[in-house]
Structure 1
Amino acid sequence: MSKFEHIRPFYDSEVNEAICGVIHHPMMKALMSFAFPDVDQKVWERQLQKTHSKRDFQVNFIYPAVQKVLQKSSEGLTTSGFEKLDKHTPYLFISNHRDIILDTSLLNVSLYDHGQIMTASAIGDNLVQKPFLHTLSRLNRNFLVQRALPPRELLQSSRLMSEYVCQLLLRENRSVWIAQREGRTKDGNDATHQGVLKMLAMGAEGDSLMEYFKSIKIVPVSISYEYDPTDALKMPMLMAQANDEVYVKEKNEDFNTLLSGIMGQKKRIHIHVCDVLDNELDKISAEFDNQNRQIQAVAQVLDDAILSTYKLWSTNYIAYDLLNKTDCFSAKYTEKEKQLFERRLEMRIDVDNKTLYDGFLAMYANPVVNKMKYKNEV
């Protein structure tokens, strides 16, 4: 049995049996009816029964489903930077994290559209507790990040994860997506958690860390949604933090957030892929010989790349002006856009609650604050 057995996606040899095991599940019917509303059930069932690889499942079923999500819940996806990627080279994409499913799904749609290698993607095991979702994630080339482990087991899990990422990138020629942090950004402040880099660093196995990081070809990715479809759902956690309370998730909260993220209105979406980290790693290697300092410096490089290329929308500028009671960005939006945003605000939260009001606005305004740190970027 492979040491990656309990975290890996299905092998292609297992795909057909897995599909046949869930083909009559109500959630599979809902997914297929959504993706192919004009196709008879017997037709898509026959197509599923003929599917024997993860790629065929992704291209023939997941890709159309994501396109339908874009059609129904957005005003379109734009991209930049993909033309710089080599079509035969696997990359480690590290992105800011706004939506549980869509961040990686939209990246893969974009990679497929540009004829590039799609990713195996990390997903928290807390999101696939239901057997159907676990099967679907493995069909969609997700591998599991184990959450809520005691410290010793967490270290072992991190080592296994780093080995698996290395295996995918350097031996299987498979690109990998991983978020810059555990859990979605709740307050609009995208920041790389050093723990993610420390996990990846375990794969260096005594070699020069910066040389290893160069070998796995790290590509920072920024993804931005004009409207965050889960903005209001993030408020209870922010309220708990403001009151210095421990936030406890409700039952099925992750699943409900997952559905809201997929179907909630997003308006425009943009993904930018940055250049592969290379010279930056050489500079870090020359400047620091302490691994912790190197990891801190790589986290800063990732943050700089993601924050400086993050696409700002009218909603971000409106929120900044409302929060700061200013009109310094009024040229970036129309009065109608401002009215629409304020109406959304009133519909989603109690605007008389100052903590909620400020927290909601800060979620949209913080990307502007962060981008102002970079000359001529706002």
Structure 2
Amino acid sequence: MEITTEFDEIRPYNSEELPQIYEELIADPAFQNAIAYAIPGVPFEAVANKMRSCKTSLEFQKAFSAEFLWGIARKHTDGLTFDNSALTNQNLSYTYISNHRDIILDSGFLSILLLDQGKSTVEIAIGDNLLIYPWIKKLVRVNKSFIVQRGLSMRQMLESSARMSRYMHYAISEKKESIWIAQREGRAKDSNDRTQDSVLKMLAMGGEGDIIERLKSLNIAPLSISYEYDPCDYLKAKEFQLKRDIEGYKKSTQDDLKNMETGLFGFKGKVHFQTAPCLNEKLKQLDSSLPKCELFTQISTVIDKEIYRNYKLYPGNYVAHDLLSGENKFADQYTTEEKNRFEEYIANQLEKIDLPNKDIPYLKEKLLIMYANPLINSLVANQCD
């Protein structure tokens, strides 16, 4: 495989770089504190020695990340399931494009689910706005992440996007690594998942041929991620009210940390990952001579439909829809006990919102919309079949 230096600033570390990065992490007091929090009761020297024994990023993930993430799944979910049977060629490297629910766990759970099937983990696209400490940036690159640069000027953004696209094509075609990327920048706060055309435009900057050929070479696999409960739902509802009430409101770094911690250690109920077939056959059917903007919009719509069709719907999705509409249209999809449990859950989440001028009806509606939207989108997508 040809080694290129073009991607050194953003790519995951290679095996030759790991020993030096391990030593830098081990010497960092902030990393030491993070390890003491994440792996309590284990001497740091034991962790350091185990790190040093990992010769590749995959070995590191098997030794640390997988154990940590399965621990999260055992303690904070009611089960983690995965169906990727729609991908008939299991030997291909895929670009998993998914809806985005959790900052860390969407890609993390996918990786351990793939490991559980005897496959390799994915390389992960992660925004540098989340890499608030030097040790975090190093750790995610050890953990097979590549960096999406944010907050750039328009010209810098174009250059950065083109380089990242070239890297993703390189990872798929040369490194034979699968990739995970969210369908949009940031999470859909109301769970109304939509693929941003800008993500597809970035993907099509690299590769060769026309837009369709470039996207086909990435082996795009739409991935639906379904959490029964979103532990960050109350934080998202709070943000909705703050944005409504305070002009120009923006989350702080502390808010991002709170979201990450809550997403990791909050209760998620059942969690399911479902892949659609590789998009290549559907891409072949599109008219590549269309104007670019129209073509990208069509492709986004195809991806959205695949994601919607493969949601795993839970009783709470149906209850939320009925509570919003004031009807009992989906009463056959849940029991009285399940309805009571979901309403109690919503009441408890509302209690967690700490605002001086708390608008309960508004906040409750926002929470219910988060759970109703996957059902609404699923119904529309399946009616179109």
The interval holding the TM-score normalised by the smaller chain is over 0.9
The equivalent residue for 2:166 is: 163
Displacement of 1:82 in angstroms is 4.2
Give the whole-Å Cα distance in 2 for the aligned partners of 1:63 and 1:30: 20
The Cα shift of 1:203 comes to 1.0
2:262 aligned partner: 260
The C-alpha deviation readout for 1:199-228, integer Å capped at 9, x for no partner, is 0111145x1211221121110000010000
The answer to whether the 8 A contact 2:58-2:120 is kept is no
- Give 1:122's match in structure 2, choosing from 108, 122, 125: 125
1:131 aligns with 2:143: no
SS at match of 2:279: coil
Question: What is the CA distance between 1:151 and its match in structure 2?
Answer: 1.1
Name the CA shift for 1:310/1:96 in 2 (closer, same or farther; >3 Å). same
Instruction: Indicate whether 1:364 and 2:365 are aligned.
Output: no
* 1:203 paired residue number: 206
Point out the more displaced range, 349-358 or 109-118.
Answer: 349-358
The gaps in structure 1 that reach 5 residues or longer are none
- 1:135 offset after TM fit, Å? 1.3
TM-score using structure 2 length: 0.91
Instruction: Report the residue type matching 1:308 in the other structure.
Output: R
Name the amino acid aligned to 1:225: Y
Structure 2, unmatched stretches of 5+, are 352-357
* Counterpart in the other structure of 2:240: 238
CA distance in 2, matches of 1:53, 1:82: 28
Shift of 1:84: 3.1
C-alpha distance after superposition, 1:83-117 (max 9, x if no partner):
73534321111000111000000111111111223
1:81 maps to amino acid: N
Say if 1:87 and 1:115, in contact at 8 Å, map to a contact too.
Answer: no
The 3-state SS of whatever aligns with 1:285 is coil
Contact in 1 for aligned 2:222/2:307 (Cα 8 Å) = yes
Asked whether the equivalents of residues 93 and 219 of structure 1 are also in contact (C-alpha less than 8 Å), the reply is yes
Match of 1:153 in 2: 156
CA contact (8 A) 1:89 1:117 kept: no
What amino acid does structure 1 have at the position aligned with 2:303?
L
Shift of 1:44: 3.2
Give the drift of 1:233: 1.0
Q: Do residues 326 (structure 1) and 321 (structure 2) align?
A: no
Match of 1:373 in 2: 380
Number of residue equivalences = 375
Q: Which moved more, 1:85-94 or 1:342-351?
A: 342-351
CA shift in 2, pair 1:172/1:353, >3 Å:
same
Q: Secondary structure at the match of 2:274?
A: strand
2:80 aligned with 1:77:
yes
Q: So what's the TM-score if we normalise by structure 1? A: 0.92
Q: Deviations over 1:12-70 (max 9, x none)?
A: 11112212222365665566567766755543332122122111101111000000001
Q: Give the corresponding residue for 1:16.
A: 19
Whether 1:307 and 2:308 are equivalent positions in the alignment is yes
Counterparts of residues 63-74 of structure 1 (less than 5 Å) = 63-74=66-77
AA aligned to 1:63 is: A
Aligned match for 2:143, one of 140, 143, 151: 140
The answer to whether residue 258 in structure 2 is matched with residue 251 in structure 1 is: no
Aligned match of 1:224: 226
**Percent of residue pairs identical:** 35
Equivalent residues of 2:169, 2:217 under 8 A apart: no
Pick closer, same or farther for the CA change 1:236–1:38 going to 2, 3 Å.
closer
Q: 3-state DSSP class of the match of 1:134?
A: helix
Q: Paired residue for 1:353?
A: 360
Q: What's the offset of the Cα at 1:332?
A: 1.7
CA contact (8 A) 1:308 1:371 kept: yes
212-221 or 288-297: which moved more? 288-297
Report the more deviating stretch, 120-129 or 240-249: 240-249
